[in-house]
Amino acid sequence: MSTDPSSPSLIYRSVKFIVRTALKLVWRLTVEGSENVPTQGGVIVAPNHRSYADPPIVGCALQREVHFLAKKELFSFRPFGWLIENLNAHPLNRAGDVGAFRAAARILKAGGVLIMFPEGKRMKTDALGEPKAGIGMLANAAGAPVVPAYVQNSSHMLSLRRLRIRFGAPLYPRDFESYDALARAVMDRISALKADADG
């Protein structure tokens, strides 16, 4: 597993092609607002989190290679752990993990894309959760913009509902007085994207 954003592996490229094709053909994935995602430089993409499928959905919606944080327990089953390591997953101890924070900051400072869920966990209902300050801390430490995103219907994939992801305009840490203020602004943008998408 590398923090180098410049060279996606053959495994990464192959899996992304297969998953993206399935998402488009089976779930009719629609991507809106992709012009809001910077084409270069470090950036945090911050979607709502309703399903375990959210990371690959968001990753396949973007042209750029992505990295993401995943709870460390997912790495304990080696075949699966090996796979997600090769898909740029980085283990996270949700009780507090300075090492994961530093790894995430390195990815961003090297010009990479990091998927980070501002709610900090997968939600059990379609209602949005409260944001955690960590996303504001990381954005400030790395000097990276945050692009809010809303993923629609990822928790209803068994019923083959159409998937949609919408990206909002980036938010810059320099424009906010505190980590919490940035985190709240990100969540407010996601809420607005949700209201627009859900009608």
Strands 164-167, 146-152: parallel, antiparallel or unpaired by DSSP? antiparallel
Residue 77, token pair as written in the block: 């089953």
Residue 64 confidence (pLDDT) above 90: yes
Q: Which residues of 89-125 are buried (b: 16+ CB within 10 A; e: fewer)?
A: bbbbeeeebeebbebbbebbebbbbbbbbbbbeebee
Task: Give the SS3 label for residue 26.
Answer: helix
Domain ranges for the chain, please list them.
10-198
Position 6 confidence tier, pLDDT thresholds 50, 70, 90: low
73-to-88, 92, 94, 151 alpha-carbon distances in Å: 16, 9, 10, 24
* Burial tier of 85 (Cβ tally within 10 Å: 0-12, 13-18, 19+): middle
pTM of the shown model: 0.92
| pLDDT digit string, tens, across residues 130-173 | 999 999 999 999 999 999 999 999 999 999 999 999 999 999 99
The answer to whether residue 21 scores a pLDDT higher than 60 is yes
15/139 Cα distance (integer angstroms): 28
Homologous superfamily (CATH) for 10-198: Glycerol-3-phosphate (1)-acyltransferase (3.40.1130.10)
CA 127 to chain centre: 18
Residue from 141, 7, 1 nearest 64 by CA: 7
